[in-house]
Amino acid sequence: MTRRAVIIDLVRTPFGRARPDGALAPMHPVDLYAHVLAALVARNGIDPSLIEDVITGCVLQVGEQAANIGRQAVLAAGLPESVPAVSLDRKCGSAQQAVDFAAQGVIAGAHDLVIAGGVEMMSRVPMKANRLDRDNLGPRFAARYPDGLVGQGISAELIAAHWNLSRDDLDAYALRSHQRAAAAEDNNSTSRDIAPVDVAGNTVDRDEGLRRNSTLEKLGGLPPAFESERMQARFPGINWSVTAGNSSQVTDGAGAVLIAEESTALRLGLTPRAAVTHFAVVGDDPLMMLTGPIPATHKLLARAGLAPDAIDAFEVNEAFASVVLAWQKELGVDPERVNVHGGAIALGHPVGASGIRLLGNLLRVLEETNGRYGLQTMCESGGMANATLIERL
């Protein structure tokens, strides 16, 4: 019998700004993730003892997020001690990779009911906190790349220069992200995924990063975020177009998705929303770093035997506006099918959890438009990318 992995439901927290006064900053990351695990189980009425694994994305596994945060959250959520968990790090694609591993395990027969999720509290555990001021590359890596690699902001600038994307292009795309996210919130689409969080007696039920009053004039007034004389000398073609306004926001958040083998879902009285059907992961140029979604998308479409025009909705993570716009140029995709409900520029990017938010947006767009196929792809630090194909049921 052919086994099929199906998505039953998806829950995430609102996303909060990762700063001391951010909406979620008082929360412990274990509690934040436990909140969505408990909400996912409760609203689907499943016996939690049937959950065979909880696969968790988390990038900064240090401090409050150390020592397999997935297992801590399972126990904090009150799930049975028999429910195991594992935590993984594929950088920004961590939660998407958790979904892929969960679905692949179902298809392979390793489990019948599994949760995939992710969490990142960037206000508590800042980027690079896990490096402890140590050399995390080593001499052989340095020998292969003697000039050194660069930060993601410089990679975003290199992409903008290579694909002839102007500052106006990037800012216009950023404004679109806020406008699309605001429309989705106003239409009560976003709220379907969100489990409100009680933080010190206050209910947080909306994404904090959305800027409804953003304008092209305001975005145009922001200075370049990564300008450097040393990088200008190394890369004279850079035009310094990447700003805080056309980049993703540093964010706190968590999310989880319930995945089942189709016959198990039907036996338990659960209604599948979509099937997870195809997967791809690639490595790409680590200097350009963020171009991986292009070959990942090509690889996935070839594996599925589909042309880009067959895909009804795309989610391409808005790590930077230049990443999505370069991908659009290469794929020739209609922009109206891309990030229909906005993206990380407006909603934020809790790196270990963002894949769940993208999947939620993708599912809702397919359901709201009666679309069939949705494709999600995510650029990742180190020059990697994931791509996942779902089919609405």
58 has catalytic annotation = no
* CA gap 348, 346 in Å, rounded: 6
* Given the residues 35, 111, 278, 349, the one annotated as active site: 349
β pairing state of 16-17 and 251-261 = antiparallel
- The percent of the chain in helix, strand and coil, each rounded to the nearest 5, is 40, 20, 40
How far lies 36's CA from each of 83, 208, 240, 296, 346, in Å?
16, 18, 39, 29, 22
Catalytic residue selected from 58, 111, 341, 379: 379
Backbone angles phi, psi at 105, to 5 degrees: -65, -40
Residues 6+ apart with CB under 8 A from 365: 312, 313, 340, 341, 371, 374
Q: Which helix (H) or strand (E) holds 12?
A: strand 5-12
Give the DSSP letter string of 239-257. ----BSTTBPPBEEEEEEE
Given its phi and psi angles, is residue 356 left (phi above 0), alpha (psi -120 to 50 degrees) or beta?
alpha
Helix (H, G, I), strand (E, B) or coil at 196: coil
Separation in Å, CA 202 to CA 24, 26, 33, 75, 106: 10, 11, 18, 24, 39
**Catalytic hit among 92, 111, 178, 278:** 92
Nearest to 285 by CA among 94, 99, 88, 144: 144
Dihedral class, residue 2 (left if φ above 0, else alpha if ψ from -120 to 50, else beta): beta
Q: Do 92 and 316 contact (CB within 8 A), yes or no?
A: no
Active site members = 92, 349, 379
